[in-house]
């Protein structure tokens, strides 16, 4: 059997999530799937859609993001107070963020995960979830912060 193309797959995904299949929902979901490592703010998503010649307004983008998040298809990250960054839903991971260039590195560390369980247990606390975001500098040669004074 031929593998279903992305478009058809996304229609199924949206339907399964109980969402009506609309062009903007499909398009936005497609962008997330085509770059699973990316973290998109609404503005960044708008730029991508513009590049593809898609005329989808910011208000619609925000609405679709909320819907996709409620349907558990994407994950919302509040890395800073200005704008949320969204990514396609995948297995649990934490983030390192460069405060100079904004680069986001994903990581998992079993010791860290276990330690959080231990701490919670020590306080007779039932851990449900956690957010671990480390801020710093990426030290990459192409970091935009490098040339700044």
Residue nearer to Zn ion on the CB measure, 15 or 93: 93
Which window, 6-14, 19-27, 48-56, 102-110, contacts Zn ion (CB under 5 A)? 102-110
- CA dihedral 40→27→31→101, nearest 10 degrees, is -30
Q: State the minimum distance, in angstroms, from the CB of residue 114 to Zn ion.
A: 10
Q: State the minimum distance, in angstroms, from the CB of residue 59 to Zn ion.
A: 25
Site residues (CB under 5 A) for Zn ion, limited to 20-49: none
Per residue, the 3-state secondary structure of the chain, as one string, reads CCCCCHHHHHHHHHHHCCCCCCHHHHHHHHHHHHCCCCCECHHHHHHHHHHCCCCCCHHHHHHHHHHHHHCCCEEEECCCCCCCEEEECCCCCEEEEECCCCCEEEECCHHHHHHHHHHHHHCCCCCCCCCCEEEECCCCCCCHHHCCC
Question: Contact between 69 and Zn ion (CB under 5 A)?
Answer: no
Question: Contact between 16 and Zn ion (CB under 5 A)?
Answer: no
Q: Which of 106, 117, 125, 134 binds Zn ion (CB under 5 A)?
A: 106
Question: Contact between 87 and Zn ion (CB under 5 A)?
Answer: yes
Q: State the minimum distance, in angstroms, from the CB of residue 5 to Zn ion.
A: 26
Which window, 2-10, 14-22, 59-67, 130-138, contacts Zn ion (CB under 5 A)? 130-138
Judged by the rule CB under 5 A, the positions of this chain that interact with Zn ion are 87, 94, 106, 132
């Amino acid at each position: 059997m031929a593998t279903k193309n992305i478009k058809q797959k996304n229609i199924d995904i949206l339907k399964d999530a109980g969402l009506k299949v609309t062009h903007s929902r499909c398009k936005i979901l497609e962008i997330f799937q085509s770059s699973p490592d990316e973290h998109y703010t609404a503005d960044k998503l708008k730029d991508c859609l513009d590049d593809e010649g898609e005329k989808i307004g910011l208000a619609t983008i925000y609405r679709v993001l909320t819907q996709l998040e409620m349907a558990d298809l994407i994950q919302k990250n509040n890395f800073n107070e200005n704008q949320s960054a969204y990514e396609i839903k995948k297995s649990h991971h934490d983030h390192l963020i460069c405060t100079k260039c904004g680069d986001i590195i994903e990581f998992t560390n079993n010791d860290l995960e276990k330690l959080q369980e231990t701490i919670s247990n020590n306080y007779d606390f039932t851990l449900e979830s956690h957010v671990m975001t480390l801020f710093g500098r990426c030290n990459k040669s192409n970091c935009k912060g490098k040339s700044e004074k």
